[in-house]
Structure 1
Amino acid sequence: MKPVHILLAAALLCPGVTLAHGGLADISLYDRTGGKRLQVYWHEGRAYVAGKPGNEYQISLRNRSREEILAVVSVDGVNVITGQSADPSQSGYVLSPYGRLDIPGWRKSWSETAAFYFTSLGDSYAARTGRPNDVGVIGAALFRKRPPVPAAPIARDPGRAAESAKPAESPLGTGHGRNETSHAYQVEFERASSAPAEIITLYYDSYANLVARGIVRDRFTHPRPFPGFVPDPQG
């Protein structure tokens, strides 16, 4: 089966983006339930975000180049379009030059997705389909488009068509949530090479687990000599 490359229709990003930067594109997570872009924490060269169990989220990508690129996106080691164990050679989303898109969930059809939401490892879509080993990571394999051949028209093959410390609690995964409308359509995209030009990786877990693993410093408090105004006494 040939990989399917698709454009996501009417995809919008909210302002105030917190990004993990790549050369070709940026990636971020938006907490749809909490209504905020999730902060990226850097630790030993890796980017992490803290998710809240039960909250829906979406993956946001921004093309930084002047050309179309293909993004093969995986969540917990699973391709978000096909549901296969992820591989860079599979189907992906096409981003227009300097374009942005949101991926709200697992693609079910050309008009529908099943929402991403943060959940326990056991409830994650990957674990429930027998693939729990890569839970907690989101990846985007980015491909440049093959440039047109500067020659007279000749017969050629068509491009492939679209299609450390112990955690404080159970590791966080991504569930297969409610179905919702999300339109996409099929396009042609011929890759410039079989290997990705770049892979962007974003790890995630609960805030408590990131603190326990030493990735995030906990917001500890100290006594304050001037904490505020004088309250009324009790009783």
Structure 2
Amino acid sequence: MKKAAITFVTAAAIGLILAGAFIFAPVETLAGANFTVKAPEPQPEPEPAVVSNGGFEIEVLVNGQSLEEYAARGRHYVEALEGAEYELRIRNPLGVRVAVALSVDGMNTIDARRTSGWEASKWVIGPYQTITISGWQMSSSRSRRFYFTTEQDSYGAKLGKTANLGVISAVFFRERQPIAVVTPPRRTTRPYEDDGMERNESKRKADAPSSQGRDSAGAKSAEAYPRPDDESAATGIGRNVRNDVNWVNLDLQPRSIAEVTVRYEYRNALVRLGIIPRHYPRQDALRRRERATGFEDRGFSPEP
């Protein structure tokens, strides 16, 4: 499996995105074997946890095996296994490079920040390639493993960010391709047509909500974090592993092309949510009565 690449795009560097975002990636990410992942078929029975959107896929792996996925309420759920390390396998179905903003528990897997998908640091995936992300990136050569744990032991709780535990989200952006510019024939327009276009454009920009307003609103809502508990699933920050990355340059289209979200919970929570059916032990009364006896094996009264 080829290592992945990451983009560092921050709010301060947002102007760089339009001209070409800076990507942090190993050279081997940009070439090598292609990997394929089978997408799930919509059935009521559990399927491998390959959540897809337009061909973009996420698998949640434990010991190299996909966790079972349950589709319900328009969302996708997987059963978390307490204490188990896990990885995220992400597939690019396109013949061009894409950058994916990947968050776990509402925090970017590269810098643990919470931003919009556009402003987030991103991983790069080569054409038709698959990458595996196994932990929080701590430096250009080291990451710390994801593992399922309680909210109180989670990485989010350690950072005071507990408002979005239990969710894995990936937002994909396509690399901008060169476009041949053809000069159209000159057309004479009446002045009032141009003025109308300018007025409509000005009105559209004025009506559009600013990113600053959205960010400030999100910051206010995130100030009151709920208290973490010991029963719900979250992701911890585990052992150190080697994960080398470096910078590359990538020019991204500003509009995302896909978003994939996975919710994870322990089995008891999935049962309470109605995602997994509750199993009641049932015993045939007549068979039980047929097995009834008056005495056990021969013997004497036991000492107290």
Is the aligned partner of 1:186 residue 2:217? no
Indicate if the aligned counterparts of 1:4 and 1:91 stay in contact, CA closer than 8 A.
no
Q: Which runs of 4+ in 1 moved over 2 A?
A: 1-18, 218-224
The letter of the residue matching 1:30 is: L
The letter of the residue matching 1:52 is: L
Give unmatched runs, 5+ long, in structure 1: 152-168, 225-233
Paired with 1:13 and 1:178, the residues of 2 have a C-alpha distance of: 27
Q: Quickly say closer, same or farther: Cα 1:219–1:190, change in 2 above 3 A.
A: farther
Is the aligned partner of 1:214 residue 2:214? no
User: Who wins on radius of gyration, i.e. which is larger?
Assistant: 2
Is the aligned partner of 1:20 residue 2:81? no
Q: Quickly say closer, same or farther: Cα 1:186–1:220, change in 2 above 3 A.
A: farther
* CA drift at 1:24: 4.4
Paired with 1:97 and 1:41, the residues of 2 have a C-alpha distance of: 29
* CA drift at 1:221: 5.4
Is the aligned partner of 1:98 residue 2:128? yes
Measured against aligned partners, the alpha-carbon deviations of 1:162-198 in whole angstroms (never above 9, x if no partner) come to: xxxxxxx7110000111111222222111112x3222
- CA RMSD, 1 decimal: 2.9
* Greater strand content: 1
* CA drift at 1:148: 1.5
Is the aligned partner of 1:174 residue 2:238? no
Q: Quickly say closer, same or farther: Cα 1:207–1:150, change in 2 above 3 A.
A: same
Paired with 2:275 and 2:125, the residues of 1 have a C-alpha distance of: 32
Is the aligned partner of 1:114 residue 2:175? no
Which residue matches 1:205?
265
Give unmatched runs, 5+ long, in structure 2: 1-9, 14-20, 39-47, 182-229, 285-296, 299-304
Q: Quickly say closer, same or farther: Cα 1:4–1:134, change in 2 above 3 A.
A: farther
* CA drift at 1:222: 4.9
Paired with 2:35 and 2:143, the residues of 1 have a C-alpha distance of: 18
Paired with 1:52 and 1:188, the residues of 2 have a C-alpha distance of: 38
The letter of the residue matching 2:243 is: S
Which residue matches 2:173?
143
* CA drift at 1:214: 0.6
Q: Quickly say closer, same or farther: Cα 1:13–1:123, change in 2 above 3 A.
A: farther
Which residue matches 1:50?
79
Is the aligned partner of 1:37 residue 2:66? yes
Indicate if the aligned counterparts of 1:141 and 1:200 stay in contact, CA closer than 8 A.
yes
The letter of the residue matching 1:179 is: N
Paired with 1:174 and 1:102, the residues of 2 have a C-alpha distance of: 17
Paired with 1:222 and 1:90, the residues of 2 have a C-alpha distance of: 51
Indicate if the aligned counterparts of 1:5 and 1:94 stay in contact, CA closer than 8 A.
yes
The letter of the residue matching 1:18 is: A
Paired with 2:36 and 2:269, the residues of 1 have a C-alpha distance of: 27
Q: Quickly say closer, same or farther: Cα 1:13–1:130, change in 2 above 3 A.
A: farther
Paired with 1:150 and 1:91, the residues of 2 have a C-alpha distance of: 30
| Corresponding residue to 2:158 among 123, 128, 138 | 128
Paired with 2:128 and 2:158, the residues of 1 have a C-alpha distance of: 36
Indicate if the aligned counterparts of 2:35 and 2:130 stay in contact, CA closer than 8 A.
yes
Instruction: Look up the SS of the partner of 1:184 in the other structure.
Output: coil
Indicate if the aligned counterparts of 1:72 and 1:79 stay in contact, CA closer than 8 A.
yes
Is the aligned partner of 1:196 residue 2:226? no
| Corresponding residue to 1:87 among 116, 120, 124 | 116
Which residue matches 1:66?
95
Measured against aligned partners, the alpha-carbon deviations of 1:1-40 in whole angstroms (never above 9, x if no partner) come to: 54753336679979876300111410010013xx421011
Aligned residues: 209
Which residue matches 1:5?
23
The letter of the residue matching 2:86 is: Y
Paired with 2:166 and 2:143, the residues of 1 have a C-alpha distance of: 20
